[in-house]
Chains A and B, each alone.
Chain A
Amino acid sequence: MTWDSLCAYVLALVVAPLLTGIINRVKAMFAGRHGQPLLQAYFDLAKLLRKGAVYSGTTTWVFRTGPVAGLAAVLVALAFVPLGKVPALVSFNGDFLLVAYLFGVMRFVTVMAALDTGSSFEGMGASREVQFSALAEPAWFMGLVTVIYVSGEWSLSPALAGVSSGVWGPAGSAMVLVGLAWLGVFLTENSRIPVDDPNTHLELTMIHEVMVLDHGGPDFAFILYGAILKLWTLGAFLVSLVTPYRTGMVLLDLGYGLAGMLILAMVVGIIESIMARLRLVRVPHLLLTATAFALLALFLVMR
């Protein structure tokens, strides 16, 4: 553990809500609107944390555990992911498996809480969530195998640090493919367009939002913050992949890691503005394409 890793972790905790603000601002600009304040997510969190709560009579402690366990899982996962080329807070061989399965924990408890309400809408969202994430998992892992093969390390921070400008030269095409595959997984896992539309207000078409319909107050704040941190954590994979090298100066390294995240948020905003949501039956095709891209990348580097 070094100071810059600790700074990166704290930075993530503090700045992550800004990402949704940027995404929404970009979307507003495309639509010619003024848009909500950049800091809207902070306001929302502050408001929710001050509220009471209403629980459905159908629910049990499973429903109340969901947000708490989900936030705990993502807080732990965040500690393993480097930002740019700044190494993660904790790093050991095979740590990426923990990250993947901690997100599994988060998904499991969210789905459980959704099913606990007995609502058919939330059942629908849960059903879609488990389907898409099961298909996203192989794509993410295959991309990771490629990165590990290239860098010769099987721990996240050194593996992603190993994808430096020296690698981008000879294996550039493979890295682009991995980046695209991971972008697909990133958009799926964070329930963004083209998989899920976070803005929709029709429960029939939603995935993540519909699963958390019944949560309110501090519980919903935990869920919101957890989702924001998940956006940051998975985004950090993409940013770390494309960051060329580590300068060694703490502020500079952190700075361009942060810049990468902000640019990624803008990219997401642009994608959401120029694309429509896919029909649900098409989403598996997107994820299989992502897996195929990642496999292709692996074949390219193994050649």
Chain B
Amino acid sequence: MMVFMAGLCIMLGGGVISRLVPGNPRFGVAVGVLTAVLGALAGLLGAVDVLASQVVIEWTSAWPLPAGEFAVRMDALSAVFLCVIFGLAMVSAIYGWDYLRVEHAQTVRGRRTWLWFNLLVVSMSLVVVARHAVLFLLAWEVMSVSSFLLVAYDHEREDVSRAAWIYLVATQIGSAMLLAMFAVVGARMGSFDFSAWGALRNAGPGFRGAVFMLGLVGFGVKAGLYPIHVWLPEAHPAAPSHVSALMSGVMIKTGIYALIRLVFLLGSPDPWWGLLLVAIGVASGVLGVVFALAQHDIKRLLAYSSVENIGIIVMGLGLGMLGWSYRQPVVMVAGLAGALLHVVNHSVFKGLLFMAAGSVVHATGCRDINRMGGLMRRMPHTGAAFLAGSAAISGLPPFNGFLSEFLIYSAAFIAVLNGPSTLVAPAVVVIGSLALIGGLATACFSKVFGVAFLGEPRNDQAAHAHECGMPMRISLYALSAGCLVIVGCAAWIIPGLFRVAGTVAGLPVDPGTGPLAMLGSVVSRVSGVSAVLIVLGLLLAVVRWRLLNGRCVGRAVTWDCGYAAPTVRMQYTASSYTQPITSLFRAILGFRIRLRPPTGLFPAAASYESRAGDTANDYLFRPFFRFVERMFIRLRWLQAGHVQVYVLYVALALLILLLVAL
């Protein structure tokens, strides 16, 4: 624990120093980056220690917080999330150092971000270890505000500042729910210390259901569950890429962490909780990937794909909870472990994809993949990394995405075989949705990679793109290797996750015997098959090389049915590639089409523009906020614009509260 706390202190101190120290901006940046890396490394050591020794560490600071105490508790579940947080923070700090290099040299703005960056990492890690509601909420708010400041990095640009405000409003709505939830539970339990909430399990089903719903909305906003995901595709593209990676890779997972924690504090769930989670997971998963398919802004697409992956995680969580409700411990452990593994996997490959996308944006100066093309030749390292990330996120072996989907599928198939029919139905829905999501994700990521990296460049920026610098390359390769290492270490990781899932639920789980041992051995066979696949591929490559060696190997233009003067504009674009699929889902996508048809006998200019909307935004939130705005306009007379009047309001409010209390 001391190592962990020391890591947090290093990061905080370094952040403050990097912000305050005057003079050469390079020094400040170096301090910020170095302390982020060192602090994350120390924190990682602390978390790994807890995972390895399987002990729970509790610690209470001698200095109490106002209205609470600084109490932390690190168990296996916290440690899993800490590993993810610190691991990705380390890589993205190295990446961000290079990514903002130009800005670092020219302005102080780049240097200033490192305080917010370090604060974000510290607050995220405090969220997953907090044992007291006040500390939790404080850390949660610091996390939201520091990430808001990072999103607003380019705040002079109108779209960025708009995205940042959307994010702030969304996250505050979530916080309001959480405040209500903690107040209700704290009043009932008579304490804000989580360890005193054991009696929550014995509360009535109505009360527990209400708490669950408040938590689901509050944490769901942060996690990006459909339909409260609307801030995600706005905020993630606006932030600098290493911040997008950190937000999409780990920050949204704190919502998942808190949801898991809450559910297991509440005790044995009613079946409708699990059913609701499966339904939300399926909606997020399928709609997330469909929306992602329709995007051509590379970072916006990745943000929607995060909604999809959160959906997959929640499906696993929902199955796990249903398994608990219906007394199917294997389904419970497999579903939960699958969800946890997907949390880890998604942070690795989504971090990788956001960083590779950042490298592309850096090189081409735009985010529209329809203006790219042919980047593979110009940016081979970024291209290879993006390809690995694309295969991993599509769930293809031999990469890590397959393993977690395999576990969630397994939970569903075990449920089909052993469960009562009320469990079989949601399990079948999960199987069907995962299959559909897998196919659509392959379509989505073959589109991004194919259009952006393959073929011929569609404009000058793409033609003159340059490869990213060495630190960025190192980050990309580290995460690409992570995609394979997780598969290679499955034999150790999976039983560990089973144990974590068991401890979270309060069930003693022995991954060495019974059906779980079978599942564990199956997963290690899957990683064995992945190895066979790689070896066989290499063997065939040698065969091909031997066959072609010494033979005539020519070079020509692409065969275009005899047409000898192809232009780059004839290539398939992102929009045309996905048009058959998006037209199937057009009712959900809500395309906005702007058409300027050719007119007159000699038409000169014509244009056609289509943009995928977001139905949740267009039909749910926009009308709602318009309504709120109308209501607030009526209260305008309260706003005098004088500080004195506001002080009077505060005094009046206090007076009323005092009167009520008396």
Binding site for B on A (CB under 8 A): 49, 51-60, 62, 64-65, 67-69, 71-73, 75-76, 90, 92-94, 97-98, 100-102, 104-105, 107-108, 111-112, 115-121, 123-124, 126-128, 130-131, 133-138, 140-142, 145, 148-149, 152, 154, 203, 213-214, 217-219, 222, 280, 284, 291, 298, 302
A94 to B407, CA, bound (A): 9
8 interchain pairs, CB-CB under 8 A? A72-B536, A93-B518, A101-B396, A101-B397, A115-B454, A118-B373, A128-B580, A302-B421
Whether the pair A93, B577 counts as a contact (CB closer than 8 A) is: no
B483 interface hit (Cβ, 8 Å) = no
Nearest B residue to A141 by beta-carbon distance?
A: B435
Given contacts A93-B410, A93-B518, A94-B409, contact A108 B555 (CB under 8 A): no
Q: Given contacts A56-B556, A119-B559, A130-B442, are A62 and B376 in contact (CB under 8 A)?
A: yes
Q: Is the CB of A134 within 8 A of B566?
A: no
Q: Mark B438-460, 1 if CB is under 8 A from A, else 0.
A: 11101100110111001110000
Question: How many Å from the CB of A106 to the closest CB on chain B?
Answer: 10
A119 near B566 with CB under 8 A, answer yes
Interfacial residues of chain B within 514-536, with CB under 8 A of chain A in the complex: 518-519, 521-522, 525-526, 529, 532-533, 536
Cα separation A283 to B401 with both chains bound (whole Å): 29
Q: A60-B383, A93-B519, A119-B566 are in contact. List 18 more A-B contacts (CB 8 A).
A: A53-B548, A53-B553, A75-B536, A94-B409, A98-B397, A108-B446, A115-B455, A118-B456, A119-B558, A124-B572, A127-B572, A130-B442, A130-B581, A131-B581, A131-B584, A133-B442, A149-B416, A298-B428
Q: Are A72 and B533 in contact (CB under 8 A)?
A: yes
Quick check: A126 and B454 within 8 Å, CB to CB? no
Q: Is the CB of A49 within 8 A of B554?
A: no
Determine the distance from Cα of A152 to Cα of B414 in the docked complex, in whole angstroms.
10
- A73 to chain B: closest residue by CB: B533
- Residues of B within 8 Å of A124, CB to CB, are 572
Known contacts A93-B522, A145-B431, A298-B428, A52 near B395 by CB under 8 Å: no
Cβ distance A27 to chain B, nearest Cβ, rounded Å: 25
State A166–B432 Cα separation when bound (angstroms): 28
* B187 adjacent to chain A (CB < 8 Å): no
A145 close to B416 (CB less than 8 A): yes
Which of chain B's residues have a CB closer than 8 A to the CB of A127?
Answer: 572, 576-580
A237 to chain B, nearest CB (A): 15
Instruction: Tell me if A123 and B416 are in contact (CB < 8 A).
Output: no
Given contacts A97-B409, A104-B438, A112-B446, contact A120 B522 (CB under 8 A): no
CB <8 Å contact, B416 and A54? no
Docked CA distance A107–B541 (Å)? 18
Q: A108 near B397 (CB under 8 angstroms)?
A: no
Contacts of B557 in A (CB 8 A): 56-58
Whether the pair A217, B548 counts as a contact (CB closer than 8 A) is yes
Are B436 and A138 within 8 A (Cβ)?
yes
In the assembled complex, which residues on chain B have CB atoms less than 8 Å from the CB atom of A104? 394-396, 438-439, 442
Q: Which residues of the other chain, B, contact A64 by a CB distance below 8 angstroms?
A: 544
Residues A130 and B428 in contact, CB atoms below 8 Å apart: no
Instruction: State in angstroms the CA–CA spacing of A121 and B561 once bound together.
Output: 9
Do B522 and A130 touch across chains, with their CB atoms under 8 A apart? no
Q: How far is the CB of A87 from chain B (nearest CB, A)?
A: 16
Who on chain A is nearest to B451 by CB?
Answer: A115
Q: How large is the interface on B (under 10, 10 to 19, 20 to 34, 35 or more residues)?
A: 35 or more
Smallest beta-carbon distance A58→chain B, Å:
5
Residues of B within 8 A of A54 (CB): 553-556
- From A56, A73, A75, A131, residue with most partner B Cβ within 10 Å: A131
Residue of A at shortest CB range from B552?
Answer: A52
A137 to chain B, nearest CB (A): 4
Q: Which residue of A lies closest to B584 (CB)?
A: A284
**In the complex, chain B residues whose CB is within 8 Å of the CB of A217:** 547-548, 551
Give the 6 A-B CB pairs with smallest separation, nearest first.
Answer: A123-B572, A134-B439, A115-B450, A118-B455, A130-B443, A52-B551
State whether the Cβ of B360 lies closer than 8 Å to any Cβ in chain A. Answer: no
The complex places the Cα of A98 from the Cα of B373 at a distance, in Å, of 32
- CB of B417 within 8 A of CB of A55, answer no
Nearest A-chain residue to B577, judged by Cβ: A127
Report Cα–Cα, A90/B547, bound state, in Å: 30
Alpha-carbon gap, A291 to B540, bound state (A): 36
* Contact present for B431 and A141 (CB under 8 Å): yes
CA distance A59 to B532 in the complex (A): 27
Q: A51–B544 contact, CB under 8 A? A: no
Q: Does B201 contact A (CB under 8 A)?
A: no
Instruction: Verify A121–B560 contact, CB threshold 8 A.
Output: yes
Question: B377 contacts the other chain (Cβ, under 8 Å)?
Answer: yes
B546 (CB) vs chain A CBs: closest residue: A218
Check B544 against A116 for contact (C-beta < 8 Å).
Answer: no
* Max chain B C-beta neighbours (<10 A), residue from A64, A118, A137, A148: A118
Residues of the A chain whose Cβ atoms lie less than 8 Å from the Cβ of B553? 52-55
Would you call B413 an interface residue if the criterion is a C-beta within 8 Å of the partner chain's C-beta atoms? Answer: yes
Question: Chain B residues near A94 (CB, 8 Å)?
Answer: 406, 409-410, 413, 522, 526
Q: In the docked arrangement, what's the CA distance between A249 and B383, Å?
A: 53
Residues of B within 8 A of A222 (CB): 540, 544
Give the chain A neighbours of B438 by CB distance below 8 A: 100-101, 104, 134, 137
A107 with B533: CB separation less than 8 A: no
Contacts of B579 in A (CB 8 A): 127
Q: How far is the CA of A98 from the CA of B402 in the complex (A)?
A: 9
Q: Return the contact of A52 from the options B431, B440, B548 (Cβ within 8 A).
A: B548
Q: Does B571 contact A (CB under 8 A)?
A: yes
Q: Which residues of B contact A152 (CB under 8 A)?
A: 417
Q: Are A68 and B544 in contact (CB under 8 A)?
A: yes
- Output the nearest chain B residue to A298 by Cβ-Cβ distance: B428
> Shortest CB–CB separation between residue B529 and chain A, in angstroms?
6
Q: Cβ of B387 < 8 Å from any Cβ of A?
A: yes
Cross-chain contact B436 with A218 (CB below 8 angstroms): no
Cα(A98)–Cα(B553), bound, Å: 35
Could you say which residues of chain B place their CB within 8 Å of the CB of A119? Answer: 558-560, 566, 571
Q: A205 to B102: give the CA distance in the assembly, Å.
A: 49
A126 touches B554 (CB 8 A): no
Which residues of chain A come closer than 8 Å to B559, judged between CB atoms?
A: 56, 117, 119, 213-214
Find the A residue at minimum CB distance from B525: A92
A141 surroundings in chain B (CB, below 8 A): 431-432, 435
- Are A58 and B558 in contact, with the CB atoms below 8 A? yes
Are B439 and A130 within 8 A (Cβ)? yes
Complex CA gap A40/B246 in Å reads: 56
B463 within 8 Å of A (CB atoms): no
B283 at the interface (CB under 8 A from A): no
Any A CB within 8 A of the CB of B568: yes
Q: How far is the CB of A111 from chain B (nearest CB, A)?
A: 5
Provide the residues of chain B in CB contact with A75, threshold 8 Å: 536
**Any A CB within 8 A of the CB of B570:** yes
Which residue of the partner chain A has the closest CB to B457? A118
Cβ of B391 within 8 Å of any chain A Cβ, yes or no, is yes
With a 10 A CB-CB cut-off, give which of A55, A130, A152, A298 has the most chain B CB atoms.
A130
Q: Are the CB atoms of B402 and A111 closer together than 8 Å?
A: no
Which residues of B454-509 have CB atoms within 8 Å of chain A's CB atoms?
Answer: 454-456
Contact A130 B446 (CB under 8 A): yes
For B402, B455, B576, B579, the residue with the greatest tally of chain A CB atoms inside 10 Å of its CB is B455
A115 to B556, CA, bound (A): 16
Please encode chain B, from 380 to 413, with 1 for each CB lying within 8 Å of some chain A CB and 0 for all others: 0001000100010011110000100110011001
A-chain residues with CB within 8 Å of residue B525 when the two chains form the complex:
92
Of the candidates B536, B539, B559, the one having the most CB atoms from chain A within 10 angstroms of its own CB is B559
For the complex, is B181 an interface residue (Cβ under 8 Å from A)? no
CA gap between A62 and B540 in the complex, in Å: 15
Closest A residue to B376 by CB, please name it: A60
Smallest beta-carbon distance B434→chain A, Å: 8
Known A120-B572, A148-B417: A56·B544 in contact at CB below 8 Å: no
Could you tell me if A126 and B529 are in contact, using CB atoms closer than 8 angstroms? no
